[in-house]
A = this chain, B = another copy of it.
Amino acid sequence: MYSFANDYSEGAHPKILEQIVKTNLEQTGVYFSDEYCSSAETLIKKACGKPKAKVHFFMGGTQANATIISSALRSFQGVYSSALGHINTHEAGAIEYGGHKILTLPDEDGKLTAQQIEFSHQLYLNDPKKEHWVQPKMVYISQPTELGTLYSKQELTALATVCRKYDLFLFLDGARLGYALTSPNNDVSLEDIADLCDVFYIGGTKCGLLFGEAAVIVSPLLQADFHTIMKQHGAVLAKGRLLGLQFETLFTNNLYEQICSYGIKQALRIKNAFQAKGISFYTNSFTNQQFPILTNEQYHILKQKYVMGVWEELPNNRLAIRFCTSWATKESEVSALLADIATL
């Protein structure tokens, strides 16, 4: 059985592990005060074109989301999110545990639009009882989205514009950001994201690290006291250097790009195979998640040999299935899968 169930079934890219082993016996500062963290911060700020940003390292996405949102909102403020947003679904209420309401909006192909924010926020502003509503203060989006789709530069710019108009922070969850940056369908660079968002993170866990997400705090309003807020969330790793040196390695010699473009390549092979077979998709993704719509029968055939995710049960005995690829996906296993798809 080979698993395409997700992009974190294996350990780390060998170059990452190599660095951890190589530096193992060094004595360094603790709690992110070491030189690997400094170096990684410098590399990331350079890649973002933001010398005044601050970079902080998290061990995972839920932790990053909860801490960042908590750092930006006061107790009576809430965050707009697509109902599909990860913070609204599979984080066990971490945002509400921190006291904040998620103001959900329906998604359009996984995305929020500037028009939605404009409309919803006008509704809020014009409500005669708005003092009795949660005050919206942030917009949360993911790139790529939970459905593998991408915000275009134009869409992201429109969102940033409406956020600035209404003094809302724009926060981009980049748990799979590498697979956006290296998608053939993408026109948004890391610099664009850093220009348009107030805060975002560069995912490592799903892009070749053992674990880790690098949060880039662009807005000066969000930079103060961030380490303390992290500590309060249990998010300060004692041997913080582990995160620093992983990200230092990831941002050296284009490793991040290499890792993710490999994952994309394998995903597109799978996409093409399903398309060739005339099988349609739940969403038109050009990133490392593919959502073909299979009949129950087709699914059960593939299930003999592969582990996949069942995204949604659809009418007429059909299933939206999720295939994930990554740096670790074996080319030979994809080839075997392609052959099996061809015979469906």
Contact = CB atoms under 8 A, between A and B. Distances in A.
A319 interface: no
B62 A231 contact: yes
Interface string A63-78: 1111100100011101
Nearest to A234: B63
A78 B234 CA distance: 18
Nearest to A309: B128
Nearest to A233: B234
Interface residues of A, number: 77
Contacts of A26: 10-11
A331 B86 CA distance: 49
Given A70-B75, A75-B97, A229-B76, A132 B90 contact: yes
Contact of A205 (B21, B28, B234, B239): B239
B75 A232 contact: yes
A332 interface: no
Contacts of A23: 11
A132 B236 contact: yes
B14 A27 contact: no
A78 B25 CA distance: 39
Contacts of A132: 31, 89-92, 228, 231, 236
A129 interface: yes
Interface in A39-66: 59-66
Contact of A91 (B61, B100, B232): B232
Given A8-B238, A91-B232, A97-B99, A17 B27 contact: no
Copies per complex?
4
Given A11-B23, A93-B134, A236 B60 contact: yes
Given A27-B10, A66-B234, A93 B97 contact: no
A77 to B, nearest CB: 8
A227 interface: yes
A108 interface: no
19 contacts: A6-B30, A11-B20, A12-B24, A14-B24, A20-B20, A20-B210, A75-B99, A76-B93, A76-B97, A89-B133, A91-B132, A91-B231, A92-B132, A93-B99, A94-B232, A94-B233, A101-B102, A132-B228, A211-B238
Interface of A: 2-3, 6, 8-12, 14, 17, 20-21, 23-31, 59-67, 70, 74-76, 78, 89-94, 96-102, 104, 128-129, 131-135, 205-206, 210-211, 225, 227-229, 231-239, 241-242, 310, 328
